[in-house]
Every structure is written in structure tokens, then in C-alpha cells.
Homo-oligomer: A and B are copies of this chain.
Amino acid sequence: MSDDREKLCPTPHLPSTVQLAHGGGGRRMRQLIEGVFLPAFANPTLLARHDSAVVDVVPDVAPRGRVALTTDAYVVKPLFFPGGDIGRLAVFGTVNDLAMAGAQPLYLTAAFILEEGLALAVLRRIVGSMRDAAAEAGVAIVTGDTKVVDRGKGDGVFITTTGVGLVPPGVDVGPHRVQPGDAVLVSGDLGRHGIAVLSVREGLMFESPIESDCAPLASSVAALLAAGVMLHCLRDLTRGGLASALNEIAMDANVGVLLEEPAIPVREPVRGACELLGLDPLYVACEGRMTLVVPEASAERALATLGAGAARIGQAVEAHPGVVVLRTRFGSGRTLDLLAGEQLPRIC
């Protein structure tokens, strides 16, 4: 009878670590969901606990909006780093991908792959961080999944988040909009996320700790749209950093990009750490920074809307289509290619 009572009034008695049975579809999994995930992400859609979340994505105010979809797996190592953790990253990273399509983020889904033996306290901390990040970004986590893999077949926690957002009517952001003559901007200083993660991983100590720039970008994009800025293309500067993002845009838009090195904002501690580590800050990942390609006529208004930290760093050009060229502080030109190899594995 105690079994039935437990089933009707579940009071999860969770062990201190994740076990294979937590992924098995039985009582342990229900306890994990009820003890960890539901309390953190509580919202009516999630609490309906069906196989799918059923949501409204077409508010009456935007009946002709289109829906943006994006997904990202997060495998950052270590799970916690100065300025953030894998949970914060998994929320903001996906919110930011939606924002890069000009979309207002509405809903997230979250799928967890846990390694047997993970401390429940670690999972709780990550889930709490996701709850806070979702609140900060104004999105609801409406459905999820948990799988457990045997010890040595995972690495603590991997999280895949998928985002659904609404692209307001008339908004069309993408490489196909980019024109020679457009201004190229960045929303803030570069490279802090990558260096913050690397500093923990490699046990590096800096004079002043470098914190990740991990942050949501959707409110900035909404402010830009509200200010009447014409957004041609947006790209967040994650894996591969600014250089890779601009290479992708240049190739997909078939324009050249010409950057002015002295205009690119990199803080001194990041520059110093990069020199020490043999890294180029233009290739180091950020998690709360974007590059913007806007018509010349919108550039000043965009910078004013983004506020301190944003900078105009170059322009799209007709010359060298598909290629990004950096004009150095000494006046010479240097091609910023896509990285051939790996600079920083498992940075996000």
C-alpha cells in the first residue's frame, strides 16, 4: 500500500547521483522529473506533461508572422566557468540564434544526456541556472527529455535546446540581404567567453579574472527593430568567433568584407591572454556578442541603440567576394580565412 501512496502523492527520494534507472521510463525517472525539472521550469504547458507541448505561436497581434526554429547541442567543458555555466549557455545560445533571424523568442525545449554518476547537486545547479536564464530572456521551457548513458560514455551533462520564435511581419534578416556598401558592426568586445572557459580548463590565472560575455541578444535585436534600424544580417559570434561568422556571411552573400583592425573592440586582458596562448581573438568564441550588417544609412542609429561597447568595424565590399580582409593597424591587408583546424574544442 505504501507503494500506491507513493504513486499518488509522489515525494521524490532522490539519491545523490544520477543512475541509469533515472533514464529508464519508470519510477526513478518520474522522481527525477518531479524533483528537479518540474519545480524549476514550472509553467502550465510543461505541467501538462504530455509527450508534446501544445502552444500558441501566432498571437493575434502578428497573424502574418513566420516561425523561426533553431537547435543547438551544448557540450562545454568544464560545466561551470567564470560568468556562466552550460545551462545559461544552453538557454542564451539558442535564444540568440532565434534573435539572429530577427525573431522574438517564445519557447524552448531542453533534452538532457546525463552520465551515470553525475552528482544531483550539479544537475540542480545547472537546471536552476537555466530557469534564471529563461526568465531573463523571456522564454518558457515547455517540454524536455532526459536520457542517461553509462559511466564513461558521456561527460557529466550534455544539453540540447531547441527554440521557437516569431519573426515579426516584414522582418527578413539573412545573408541574402547583404549589399556591398553595408556597414559591419559588432555589439561589444570580443573573445571573453572563450578565454573564460579556457582559463578554467587549463588552470590559468590572470591578474583580473576574465568573465564570459554569455548573455541574451534578443532584447537588443528587438530594440534595433523598434528604433527602425534596417537589419540586413545578424550573426552571433560563437564557435570560430568574429572571423568565422563574417566568412560565413561573405560566402553566403557573395560579397567581400573589409575590416579595420584598430576599430575591433578587444579588452586588454583578453588580448594579453590570447598572446600568451597563441590565439587570435578574432577567432575566439563569444556567447553574448553579434555582428550586424546594416545599410550605411542605419549604422549610426544602430550604434546608438546598442550603446557603449558597440563598434563599427568595417564594411561589405564588391571586391574579393567571399573573402574577409583585415586592414591592420599598420595599413597592410591580411586575409581572415576560415580556420582549417580546431582552435578551442568544446567551447559551447
Residues of A within 8 A of B (CB): 3-4, 7-8, 19-21, 23-30, 48-58, 66-75, 77, 96-98, 100-101, 103, 107, 109-113, 142-150, 152-155, 158, 160, 162-165, 167, 174-176, 235-236, 238-241, 244, 247-248, 251-252, 285, 321-323, 335, 337-346
- A145 cross-chain contacts in B, Cβ below 8 A: 71-73, 160
A322:B4 contact, CB within 8 angstroms: yes
Smallest CB separation, A201 vs chain B (Å): 12
List of B residues within 8 angstroms of A107 by Cβ: 69
Q: Which residue in B26, B48, B346 is a CB contact (below 8 Å) of A342?
A: B26
Interface centre among A53, A96, A162, by most chain B C-beta atoms within 10 angstroms, is A162
Closest Cβ neighbor of A76 among chain B residues: B147
Is B68 a contact partner of A52 (Cβ separation < 8 A)? Answer: yes
Whole-angstrom distance from the CB of A122 to the nearest CB of chain B? 16
Query: Which of B72, B251, B338 touches A26 (beta carbons < 8 Å)?
Result: B338
Which of B56, B110, B113, B337 lies in contact with A67, CB distance below 8 A? Answer: B56
Provide the bound-state CA to CA distance between A58 and B169, in Å.
Answer: 14
With contact pairs A26-B341, A66-B56, A160-B71 given, residues A150 and B19 touching in the complex (Cβ less than 8 Å): no
Are A66 and B73 in contact, with the CB atoms below 8 A?
no
- A8-B251, A55-B69, A109-B70 in contact; A24/B75 too (CB < 8 A)? no
Nearest Cβ in chain B — how far from A60, in angstroms? 11
Chain B residues within an 8 Å CB radius of A247: 7
Main secondary structure of the interface of A (DSSP, over half): mixed
Contact (A28, B160) CB under 8 Å given A71-B143, A143-B70: no
Return 25 A-B CB contacts under 8 Å, by A number.
Answer: A4-B335, A7-B322, A8-B321, A24-B342, A25-B238, A25-B285, A26-B343, A27-B339, A28-B342, A49-B175, A52-B97, A52-B101, A57-B67, A67-B67, A71-B111, A71-B144, A71-B160, A72-B111, A73-B111, A74-B147, A113-B158, A149-B155, A152-B152, A153-B155, A154-B155
- 13 other A-B residue contacts (CB within 8 Å) besides A24-B239, A52-B165, A149-B155: A25-B240, A25-B339, A26-B240, A26-B341, A51-B96, A51-B100, A54-B66, A55-B69, A58-B58, A71-B110, A72-B145, A145-B160, A162-B162
Copy tally for this chain in the complex stands at: 2
A53 close to B24 (CB less than 8 A): no
Known: A24-B343, A73-B145, A346-B149. A337 touches B68 (CB 8 A): no
User: Hey, which chain B residues are within 8 Å of A235, CB to CB?
Assistant: 51
Which residue of chain B has its CB nearest to the CB of A144? B71
10 nearest A-B residue pairs (beta carbon): A25-B239, A25-B240, A26-B339, A160-B160, A162-B162, A71-B109, A52-B101, A21-B342, A24-B342, A52-B70
Q: Which of A54, A70, A103, A145 has the most CB of B within 10 A?
A: A54
- Pairwise interchain contact B27-A54, C-beta atoms closer than 8 A: no
B111 engages A160 (CB within 8 Å): yes
Query: Which one of A167, A285, A339, A344 has the greatest number of beta carbons of chain B within 10 Å?
Result: A339
Contact B143 A338 (CB under 8 A): no
Asked whether B162 lies within 8 Å of A109 as measured between CB atoms, the reply is: yes
Cβ of A236 to closest chain B Cβ, rounded Å: 7
Shortest Cβ distance from residue A18 to the other chain B in the assembled complex, whole angstroms: 12
Closest chain-B Cβ to A180's Cβ sits at a distance in Å of 17
